[in-house]
Structure 1
Amino acid sequence: MRHSPAGSPAQQDSTGPGLREAADAVLARLVGVEGARLRTDQWRAIEALVAERRRALVVQRTGWGKSAVYFVATALLRAAGSGPTVIISPLLALMRNQIDAAGKAGIRARSINSANAEEWETVRAEVAAGDVDVLLVSPERLNNPEFRDTVLPSLAATTGLLVVDEAHCISDWGHDFRPDYRRLRTMLAELPAGVPVLATTATANARVTADVAEQLGTGTDSAEALVLRGTLDRQSLRLAALRLPDAAHRLAWLDDHLDELPGSGIIYTLTVAMAEEVAAHLSARGHRVTAYTGRTEGADRQAAEADLLANRVKALVATSALGMGFDKPDLGFVVHLGSPSSPIAYYQQVGRAGRGVEHAEVLLLPGAEDEAIWRYFASLAFPPEAQVRQTLDVLAAAGRPLSLPALEPQVELRRSRLETMLKVLDVDGAVRRERGGWTATGRPWSYDTERYAWVARQREAEQQAMRAYVTLTGCRMEYLRRQLDDEQAAPCGRCDNCTGHRFPADVSQAALDAARGELVRTGTAVEPRKMWPTGLPATGIDLKGRIPAGELAEPGRALGRLSDIGWGNRLRPLFAPGTPDAPLPADVLDAVVTLLADWSRGPGGWATGAPDAARRPVGVVTVASRARPQLVRSLGEHIARVGRMPLLGAVTSAEPAPSRSNGARRVRALYESLGLPEETAALVRANPGGILLVDDFTETGWTLALAARALRRAGADAVLPLVLAVQG
């Protein structure tokens, strides 16, 4: 679709009945239905964008047809001579769906995102030539220095329509705030007068709606943004919740009842470990399921999406990585194995189901681990002011751009959290991302204590709302709609509480036995650290590059992950704040023995006659714990006794390393704190062979790496880490 020449009939007819007829004609091509007509609010939004050149916010339920608004508006604006539409879109799945949908209406769409870097130059040339009607851009591109400085200005100057999809991400009042979206303020401010802007979302309460509408006014003195907010009811959804005794019963329930759910669907979990664990078990039990997480490779994601769209699988077992934008109109069910921390996030995810069918099942299976996972993610919120100020001071003192690897060793933040904080500071004007890294601008900046505290309280309120949802006796859909400030909320007459129809709680003994067997199965790999963090020499620690082979730990084992639904549920209480230190319970000690036996007989295990005799453990060394000394000592003593090996001593620590710091800071603290007493070192030298290094849990792997280095340097032929739990 090319520009119509100036003065063409299409350009002249920008209002009145002719525009409505043209809009309906585009819709008919888009949906493939002759005679299709726009909804009242769809037409009102298009009219505001095309005829009035306004800025509009559309808050409508999933499946309402928000994409039709911007595709129809694009066709009309392009026919009238406007430049291409730019859509800021958060997920690759959404981009793929949108490009396919646009083609149905003769609209040529292209994308610029992290997955197609090799196409960027071609796409830019096509945009410059006028051959692209819609350009989809991932939000992280907005914070890329080259894109921001060279591409964004030209886009802002030539775009005919700016669309912000999933616009609740703009607002840090919302459940899914994304700092990259804040860069949109810059683009909004630089748009020429009269360029329409459309923001869309299905999940925004009143406060988020007001915040987004206010931000849409950036850079304009015109009338306030038009807000079109509709009912959020989804008449196809039957909401339900089912509380089962434990994780084994939940896993067995899925095994027994998955095939009874209509069509194909999604099983959401709260963590990557859960998704992979559940998918593996259900697959082993004969179900056609695939895991889909942030750890899934791009090509595998596309294949999984295609399999679900074509109903070649019964379900994807997914984290929130499969969320906004995935479009399968006939999705028959959504099951949550674990409760999200926000009703708004929950409503968004269940909104994937029932968009093109009359009936879809939505079931929540809450778990004992839910709140521990909520607490973990809450700990990743915007850092305290002291840490922010420390980062600004380091950047100011540097006098040059600092990359994340160079900055990380000098501050108390892990890289992902540091990067998120810097993106917020960038939008606030306190720092700037340039080629080569980040710099401080020197502009005044204040820490909005009140706002961050309010956001934290809001998160707590959302968690309480989800607790209430589980035990709710009233209408579930009405409750969710009220959480999103839907003024038209009323009893749905469809959910389990409205109808009294409940999912059966029964599970077969065979499924329960299989689930229990899965959940008590021991053994999670603990991969050793192989590279030192960058920037250590700048902190006075002369460690860099690859860890020498003679100082490496071997691949280790853990009983389980704290985030999984098997051993995680059993181990989590042992590490919970306030739990008194005590020797390990007998069932945990027995499980460790089983783990050791399986490990020794596994590939390359020392009980298989493997040629690498150095791996055979000849003694046990513990990592002395300041928080749980009895627990760790009982673990080391039991392993030594059962394995008939000497307990050679412990690696000691003068003070605890910061648990939430980045790798370089943690290594520096451990380097200065960990010690190997001479008597332990002497016993290691006197017992040549492998050493079992025993600790309570590992989160980053750096304690094990530094302890293994000390033992290898003392003469150990190999160090095999064994821990109870892996954090994450």
Structure 2
Amino acid sequence: MSRRSVSTRGVKWPIVSAVGLHGGMDVLELRAEADAILAELVGAPGGSARLREDQWQAVAALVEERRRALVVQRTGWGKSAVYFVATALLRRRGSGPTVIVSPLLALMRNQVEAAARAGIRAHTINSANPEEWESIHEEVERGETDVLLVSPERLNAVDFREQVLPKLAATTGLLVVDEAHCISDWGHDFRPDYRRLRAMLAELPAGVPVLATTATANARVTADVAEQLGTGGGEALVLRGPLDRESLRLGVVRLPDAAHRLGWLAEHLDDLQGSGIVYALTVAAAEEATAFLRQRGFRVASYTGRTENADRLQAEADLQQNRVKALIATSALGMGFDKPDLGFVVHLGSPSSPIAYYQQVGRAGRGVEHADVLLLPGKEDEAIWRYFADTAFPPEARVRETLSALAGAGRPLSVPALEAVVDLRRTRLETMLKVLDVDGAVKRVKGGWISTGEQWVYDSERYAWVARQRAAEQQAMRDYVSTTQCRMEFLRRQLDDEGAVPCGRCDNCAGPWVDSDVSAETLTGAVKELDRPGVEIEPRRMWPTGMPALGIDLKGRISAKEQCSTGRALGRLSDIGWGNRLRPLLAENAPDGPVPDDVLQAAVAVLADWARSPGGWAPDVPDASARPVGVVAVPSVTRPQLVGSLAEGIAAVGRLPFLGTLTYGGPGGAHAARRSNSAQRLRGLFGAFTVSEELAGALARSPGPVLLVDDYTDSGWTLAVAARLLRQAGAQQVLPLVLAAAG
């Protein structure tokens, strides 16, 4: 067996001769044809690019043997080369189009461009291009498409599932499941939509090859995915390789607070090779870091769940062309961004899972010899993990309520309609319905969801195991930060890589290569940036669907005469500036007490900035720029001193009359149902507040805008209900001011 190496995209790949592994001239010819396609794919037609032996083994399994295969290989190994080469070979032999199921929009865009280089006609169907769906479907039916990339959410769309999916299943030449760990609820990124693939796998004609790929599957996830791949098609072939990334140098820089981390980044970003990604745990943190780095003269762009699609495309292009030093991103950037020469990945805060961390850092060093990966953990990380942890499968009582509501409705119910009867937030309710759909208990149809009437068992043991797994992942991430052993070996062992050994490159193996120093001037600038209070709070403008069914006659748009204006908060609980200051103050078990002086002064500063903003207090309301005539407090059962002293303190500093507090008569406190969905939240609040005669008289004596003060807003319904009452009692405008906003 002969061995040599070539360079493709800057990466040296070992080449193992096919002779002795796959005998016969036909196989040698097939291998030569495959290598020629690879050369076109990587932009080196006529060059020496060749599939590595492990890649060729996967291609041969798909094309020669028409197998079902699971490939578990590190990021940058070349999984996409396998399915594009296999696609070209199969299409030349008369097979139907390849269908690739992928959750990664950025990867889809990269792959459509890469496929074109090899003469492969690829299209994508996802949430970003609905205007193209019909024409793409027509091209697929005419046989003009070689590859169709589909987001998993499309698999559960009624029209696609009933009209397009059966045709695809009947004509597909190769099915590819990218990020296959998402199939398994034992994995770190379980997505119920992926489970629809079981039905498609069962319906595929005999002999249609299937390829599942992932870089992040431990032994249990690998076994689970392989078992599912075997549905209707025999035992799956598992090709698992070592997960070392020889180009990556891992390190941890421990700093005392968020200001030091921002300052460190500003002073060391230019020292990092090329361009890269700086990951933040929240949208707010990403926006804070972007603003500060821009102030310091860096060309950076924010990339989060709030970023418009056009801006995402521009940001991706700017990073690809090295027009920016870094994208400051949340996990919205995903693992599908393909830039082989990405020089670094820095994390401002620890992800909650070492497996997810391995996946994100795998963006770096794919086409360069060296790339730096640095983690800057924060004290607030675990609070942020808890904030986003409300994703566990709901308790059985909630599931049974949902099934009962669907069974008794006699018609399809939409998610907003279900919110009126099931006390779950929308995203959690939607995820639960998808799981029940996969389990056969419910079905999505036009108009909403229906019950199938099939018996369903609540698998409490499995759900509890998943919860324990999440807790174990969090502990492993703490261990990664504190370990004195090799960091790459640690991550590889988390993925059950049997070949894990010390890397010799990380800060624990070879010693730290960066210091933790931050100059006084930079630190002062970072503190100033993080200490700047004030974020806008958008008011509620529409009543939730289904309120009349609950006996509450509210529907449609909230009357302009009853709305509150856009408000202000000192900060978001998810940011690394004021969020860090406010989380302990508003924690569930925090003691009540007077508002701290620095928090009161920050609230006063927010009010001053608000008054000076373009258009004044309420630029969208005619004649609303006048100064507020008084302050009203929202009642609080849990923190009456905090809210009361905040309202009275603002009134005293601003020389405004404190008009009083709304009266609350509901059970359990005005904030008892913070995590409910909109319909349930409004149901709990409607009728709970009243305006006392004293407060009504004060509003009548002082007509004009009033400040409405509370400690926290999450859903926005407390402010909406309170504002409606105050507007009805004579307030010309209601201007909400709270300490913290969610999100």
Q: 1:452, CA displacement in angstroms?
A: 0.7
Give the Cα separation in 2 of the matches to 1:582 and 1:598. 27
Residue 212 (str. 1) matches residue 225 (str. 2) = yes
Equivalent position of 2:164 in the other structure = 151
Q: Check whether the contact 2:631–2:707 (CA below 8 A) recurs between aligned residues.
A: yes
Give the Cα separation in 2 of the matches to 1:62 and 1:674. 55
Equivalent position of 1:167 in the other structure = 180
Equivalent position of 2:502 in the other structure = 491
Aligned-partner residue type, residue 85 of structure 2: V
Aligned-partner residue type, residue 150 of structure 2: V
Q: Check whether the contact 1:601–1:607 (CA below 8 A) recurs between aligned residues.
A: no
Give the Cα separation in 1 of the matches to 2:618 and 2:50. 72
Query: For 1:505-555, what per-residue CA distance to the aligned partner results, in whole angstroms no more than 9, with x for missing partners?
Result: 111222111111111111111111111112211211111111111111111
Query: For 1:662-681, what per-residue CA distance to the aligned partner results, in whole angstroms no more than 9, with x for missing partners?
Result: 11111111003222223222
Deviates more, 1:562-571 or 1:659-668: 659-668
Counterpart pick for 1:457 among 446, 468, 487: 468
Structure 1 counterpart SS, 2:135: helix
Give the Cα separation in 2 of the matches to 1:137 and 1:606. 46
Counterpart pick for 2:132 among 119, 123, 126: 119
Equivalent position of 2:403 in the other structure = 392
Equivalent position of 1:631 in the other structure = 642
Counterpart pick for 2:709 among 694, 707, 712: 694
1:175-574 matched pairs, under 5 angstroms: 175-220=188-233, 222=234, 224-574=235-585
Q: 1:613, CA displacement in angstroms?
A: 5.5
Residue 62 (str. 1) matches residue 75 (str. 2) = yes
Q: 1:606 to 1:392 in 2, by over 3 A?
A: closer
Query: For 1:56-100, what per-residue CA distance to the aligned partner results, in whole angstroms no more than 9, with x for missing partners?
Result: 000000000001111111111111111111100112111111111
Structure 2 counterpart SS, 1:173: coil
Give the Cα separation in 1 of the matches to 2:25 and 2:409. 55
Q: Check whether the contact 2:535–2:571 (CA below 8 A) recurs between aligned residues.
A: yes
Residue 590 (str. 1) matches residue 605 (str. 2) = no
Q: Check whether the contact 2:634–2:661 (CA below 8 A) recurs between aligned residues.
A: yes
Give the Cα separation in 1 of the matches to 2:653 and 2:25. 84
Deviates more, 1:351-360 or 1:402-411: 402-411
Aligned-partner residue type, residue 254 of structure 1: L
Query: Could you list the runs of 5+ residues in structure 2 that have no partner in the other structure?
Result: 1-23
Aligned-partner residue type, residue 140 of structure 1: E
Give the Cα separation in 1 of the matches to 2:160 and 2:59. 29
TM-score, scaled to structure 2: 0.94
Query: For 1:184-230, what per-residue CA distance to the aligned partner results, in whole angstroms no more than 9, with x for missing partners?
Result: 0110011111111000001111111111111101123x2x2110110
Aligned-partner residue type, residue 19 of structure 1: L
1:654-665 matched pairs, under 5 angstroms: 654-655=666-667, 656=669, 657-665=672-680
Equivalent position of 2:700 in the other structure = 685
Give the Cα separation in 2 of the matches to 1:55 and 1:323. 26
Give the Cα separation in 2 of the matches to 1:377 and 1:129. 45
Give the Cα separation in 2 of the matches to 1:320 and 1:604. 36
Equivalent position of 2:143 in the other structure = 130
Deviates more, 1:25-34 or 1:336-345: 25-34
Aligned-partner residue type, residue 501 of structure 2: A
Aligned-partner residue type, residue 713 of structure 2: T
Q: 1:598, CA displacement in angstroms?
A: 1.9
Structure 2 counterpart SS, 1:157: helix
Deviates more, 1:522-531 or 1:352-361: 522-531
Give the Cα separation in 1 of the matches to 2:42 and 2:560. 61
Q: Check whether the contact 2:618–2:625 (CA below 8 A) recurs between aligned residues.
A: no
Q: 1:690, CA displacement in angstroms?
A: 1.5
Q: Check whether the contact 1:14–1:51 (CA below 8 A) recurs between aligned residues.
A: no
Equivalent position of 1:90 in the other structure = 103
Q: Check whether the contact 2:277–2:346 (CA below 8 A) recurs between aligned residues.
A: yes
Q: 1:168, CA displacement in angstroms?
A: 0.7
Give the Cα separation in 2 of the matches to 1:675 and 1:175. 47
Q: Check whether the contact 1:26–1:72 (CA below 8 A) recurs between aligned residues.
A: yes
Q: 1:604, CA displacement in angstroms?
A: 2.5
Query: For 1:572-612, what per-residue CA distance to the aligned partner results, in whole angstroms no more than 9, with x for missing partners?
Result: 1011232111112211112112222222222233699x982
Deviates more, 1:134-143 or 1:640-649: 640-649
Q: 1:333, CA displacement in angstroms?
A: 0.4
Aligned-partner residue type, residue 429 of structure 2: L
Equivalent position of 2:152 in the other structure = 139
Give the Cα separation in 2 of the matches to 1:467 and 1:337. 15
Deviates more, 1:314-323 or 1:382-391: 382-391
Give the Cα separation in 1 of the matches to 2:288 and 2:228. 42
Aligned-partner residue type, residue 108 of structure 1: R
Query: For 1:650-697, what per-residue CA distance to the aligned partner results, in whole angstroms no more than 9, with x for missing partners?
Result: 123322342221111111110032222232222222221221110001
Q: Check whether the contact 1:526–1:558 (CA below 8 A) recurs between aligned residues.
A: yes
Aligned-partner residue type, residue 37 of structure 1: R
Give the Cα separation in 2 of the matches to 1:278 and 1:402. 42
Equivalent position of 1:8 in the other structure = none
Give the Cα separation in 2 of the matches to 1:581 and 1:197. 59
Give the Cα separation in 1 of the matches to 2:707 and 2:127. 42
Give the Cα separation in 1 of the matches to 2:38 and 2:25. 17
Q: 1:384, CA displacement in angstroms?
A: 1.2
Equivalent position of 2:687 in the other structure = 672
Q: 1:613 to 1:487 in 2, by over 3 A?
A: closer
Amino-acid identity (%): 73
Give the Cα separation in 2 of the matches to 1:516 and 1:431. 52
Query: For 1:430-488, what per-residue CA distance to the aligned partner results, in whole angstroms no more than 9, with x for missing partners?
Result: 10000111001010011110111100000000001111111111110000000111100
Give the Cα separation in 1 of the matches to 2:634 and 2:622. 29
Give the Cα separation in 2 of the matches to 1:606 and 1:240. 47
Q: Check whether the contact 1:369–1:563 (CA below 8 A) recurs between aligned residues.
A: no
Equivalent position of 2:724 in the other structure = 709
Give the Cα separation in 2 of the matches to 1:42 and 1:219. 25
In the TM superposition, structure 1's runs of 4+ consecutive aligned residues that sit over 4 Å from their partners are none
Give the Cα separation in 2 of the matches to 1:174 and 1:36. 34
Give the Cα separation in 1 of the matches to 2:625 and 2:698. 16
Deviates more, 1:71-80 or 1:332-341: 71-80
Q: Check whether the contact 2:565–2:618 (CA below 8 A) recurs between aligned residues.
A: no
Give the Cα separation in 2 of the matches to 1:178 and 1:681. 51
Residue 721 (str. 1) matches residue 736 (str. 2) = yes
Q: Check whether the contact 1:341–1:466 (CA below 8 A) recurs between aligned residues.
A: yes
Residue 24 (str. 1) matches residue 39 (str. 2) = no
Aligned-partner residue type, residue 53 of structure 1: R
Query: For 1:298-328, what per-residue CA distance to the aligned partner results, in whole angstroms no more than 9, with x for missing partners?
Result: 1111110000000000000000011221100
Q: Check whether the contact 2:710–2:738 (CA below 8 A) recurs between aligned residues.
A: yes
Q: Check whether the contact 1:290–1:317 (CA below 8 A) recurs between aligned residues.
A: yes
State the Cα RMSD in Å: 1.6
Give the Cα separation in 2 of the matches to 1:622 and 1:615. 20
Q: 1:615, CA displacement in angstroms?
A: 4.3
Deviates more, 1:57-66 or 1:501-510: 501-510
Aligned-partner residue type, residue 283 of structure 1: R
